[in-house]
């Protein structure tokens, strides 16, 4: 009873003096803490989402790709050869014009830095070929000059066409990597042969 009358007297005196009764002060600490927790939760959610996203396909492929080998013939670089041995004789015409056949044989002799990175798709890997250059060049001497041709290229349309495309792209200024990618995209099909040809370095 005493407490009630005291509260009434305080209210009455406040009313009489014109001052509104003072309300108890609310602490802002809980609201501030809740805001901080909310911000931290949002930041954590964004970080988790970014870390859980898969890496771009190019990065995955680059990480998974083996370190490329450098074929011995590729180290010769462009290798002009003035005197080439005569092409093997055959009693029938090749599947492409003779001018084209001669041109790709010369290209194979003089540009091992290109064709040693270009695969072939005719199944010649079963005969031990490592790349399209093996379809045309059988042996070189210590200086890198061709001493013996591979006759397989005379009869194979795929070998000739792949080498011809690589030759045309080289003459247009394409990089070895671009040539390899373009030929792979055109010729590599499920079930087709594919020589175990090294991938060119990024510098190519």
Instruction: Determine what percent of the chain is predicted with pLDDT higher than 70.
Output: 73
CA 170 → CA 26, 68, 123, distances in Å? 80, 21, 24
Domain span holding position 156: 96-197
pLDDT at 201: 76
In a domain, 111, yes or no: yes
Q: What is the count of structural domains for the chain?
A: 1
Does 126 map to a domain? yes
More confident residue, 4 or 30: 30
In a domain, 177, yes or no: yes
pLDDT for residue 20 is more than 80 = no
Residue 194 in this model has a pLDDT that exceeds 60:
yes
d(CA 156, CA 95): 7
Sign of CA dihedral 105, 107, 113, 115: negative
In this prediction, residue 16 has a pLDDT band, given cuts at 50, 70 and 90, of very low
Q: What pLDDT does 40 receive? A: 76
**Residue 189 lies inside a defined structural domain of this protein:** yes
Contact 160, 95 (CB under 8 A): yes
Domain-located, residue 56: no
Residue 79 domain-assigned (yes or no)? no
Q: What is the mean pLDDT of the chain?
A: 81
Dist. CA 52–CA 48, nearest whole Å: 6
* Residue-level pLDDT at 14: 46
| Residue 81 covered by a domain | no
Give the pLDDT of residue 15: 47
Assigned domain for 181 exists: yes
Residues 6+ away with beta carbon under 8 Å from 81? 109, 110, 145, 146
């Amino acid at each position: 009873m005493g407490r009630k009358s005291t509260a009434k007297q305080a209210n009455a005196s406040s009313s009489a003096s014109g001052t509104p009764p003072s309300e108890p002060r609310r602490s802002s600490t809980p609201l501030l803490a809740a805001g901080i927790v909310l911000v931290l939760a949002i930041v954590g959610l964004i970080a988790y989402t970014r870390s859980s996203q898969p890496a771009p396909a190019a990065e995955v492929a680059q990480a998974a790709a083996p370190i490329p080998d450098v074929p011995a013939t590729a180290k010769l670089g462009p290798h002009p050869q003035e005197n080439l041995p005569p092409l093997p004789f055959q009693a029938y015409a090749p599947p492409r014009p003779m001018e084209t056949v001669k041109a790709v044989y010369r290209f194979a002799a003089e540009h091992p830095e290109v064709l040693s990175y270009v695969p072939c798709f005719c199944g010649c890997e079963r005969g031990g070929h490592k790349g399209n250059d093996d379809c045309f060049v059988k042996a070189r001497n210590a200086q890198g000059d061709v001493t013996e041709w591979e006759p397989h290229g005379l009869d194979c349309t795929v070998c000739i066409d792949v080498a011809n495309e690589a030759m045309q792209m080289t003459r247009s200024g394409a990089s070895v990597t671009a040539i390899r990618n373009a030929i792979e995209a055109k010729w590599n099909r499920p079930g087709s042969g594919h020589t175990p040809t090294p991938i060119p370095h990024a510098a190519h």
